Amino acid sequence: MNMRFILYFFLITFQFGCMNAQKTYNQLSAEESQIIINKGTEAPYSGEYYYHNEEGTYLCKQCDAPLYKSSDKFDAQCGWPSFDDEIEGAVVRKTDKDGHRTEILCANCGGHLGHVFEGEGFTKKDTRHCVNSLSLSFKPLEFLKVNTIDTAIFAGGCFWGMQYYFENQKGVKSTEVGYIGGHIENPTYEDVCSHKSGHIEALQVVFDSTMVSFEALAKLFFEIHDPGQVNRQGPDIGEQYKSAVFYRTQEQKQISEKLISELKSLNYSVATELIKATTFWKAENYHQHYYSKKSGSPYCHFYQKKFK
């Protein structure tokens, strides 16, 4: 067998293994797996959240991503929890295998939620997300008021690949790709690619600091791209692909400085810039969760353990 092919096969296998190791989800019961993984349906009127009226947020049972607000819940008298709106970007729609209904899935992990229906006239929004209780967990409003939610912003090449590695990390509540660091408002992808706006492709990560630390996320950031490359990442070349941590607090800056020092002590080249965060502009919807939608994997990012 050709030695080059053997080496290529080994590298792909290693990358795939590391990639999968990064995706961590909550352990599911057999009943939950039947619904979320195997796309089953629980019996009507049997779910924990059908008669549930407490204020708070409904989360994905598999990955804890926020999906629905209690203010959007209503009683459709159908036997399953019903919502007339989702948290922006939290739910993906696709044609069901029956070819007629529209299935809804968690945008973060792809877990099956249920189906969405329109034109029934239940509410002014004329939409009904019919969701299995077993696909959900719930955080009361009082719990959500505890200030454990934090935000980190990283830039390290094409933001598609960055999001791919962060979106399924335990403790990460949501991720958005977008633009930061430029001098115009509401930049478009075309503005950024033209090099006239000064923006950089970046990833905004909202996380629960009781479940994952900024330092752990920053380590992942340094381990999924080459921080030694200047204004590029692999085949993507240009200032919008620079490596940078856009720190929101002095603590985030100090942690990033410490990690850079560690990498340099391990003989890694580091060109990562530390820049005070400015306005983060969310990118167009077709850029969000790109690889999850396309069932693909990054072409210029791969995981390599660097820290001891």
Pairwise pLDDT comparison (137 vs 304), residue with the higher score: 137
pLDDT category at 235 given cuts 50, 70, 90 is confident
- pLDDT of 147 reads 67
Please say whether the beta carbons of 219 and 259 come within 8 A: yes
166-188 pLDDT, tens per residue?
988 889 989 999 999 999 999 99
- For tokens 């020092």, what's the residue? 261
Rounded Cα distance between 278 and 180, Å, is: 7
pLDDT more than 90, % of the chain: 66
Confidence of residue 144 (pLDDT cuts 50, 70, 90): low
124 touches 141 (CB < 8 A):
no
Q: Which residues are catalytic?
A: 130, 158
In CATH terms, the fold of domain 30-142 is 2.170.150
Question: Is pLDDT of 4 > 60?
Answer: no
Mean pLDDT of 115-133: 96
Mean pLDDT of 139-153: 77
Q: State residue 242's pLDDT score.
A: 93
The answer to whether the CB of 54 falls within 8 A of the CB of 143 is no
pLDDT level of residue 142 (50, 70, 90 thresholds): low
Mean pLDDT of the region 224-231: 91
Average pLDDT over residues 202-209: 92
What mean pLDDT, rounded, does the chain reach? 88
- What is the Cα–Cα distance from 306 to 223, expressed in whole angstroms? 6
Instruction: Give the architecture (CATH level 2) of 147-294.
Output: 2-Layer Sandwich (3.30)
Looking at residue 18, its pLDDT comes to 41
80 in Cβ contact with 47 (< 8 Å): yes
Helix or strand run (H / E) with residue 258? helix 250-265
What's the pLDDT at 259?
A: 96
| SS3 (DSSP) at 193 | helix
Who has greater pLDDT, 301 or 257? 257
> Where do the structural domains in the chain lie, given as residue ranges?
30-142, 147-294
Residue 196: its pLDDT value, please? 86
Task: Give the tens place of pLDDT for each residue, 52-104.
Answer: 998 899 999 999 999 999 999 999 999 999 999 999 889 999 999 989 999 99
Instruction: Show the tokens assigned to 91.
Output: 């739910």
pLDDT digits (tens, 9 = 90+) for 247-298: 999 999 999 999 999 999 999 999 999 999 999 999 999 889 888 887 777 7
**What pLDDT, on the 0 to 100 scale, is given for residue 301?**
85
**Distance (Å, whole) CA 216 – CA 235:** 27
Tokens found for residue 301: 């990012």
Sign of CA dihedral 217, 218, 223, 224: positive
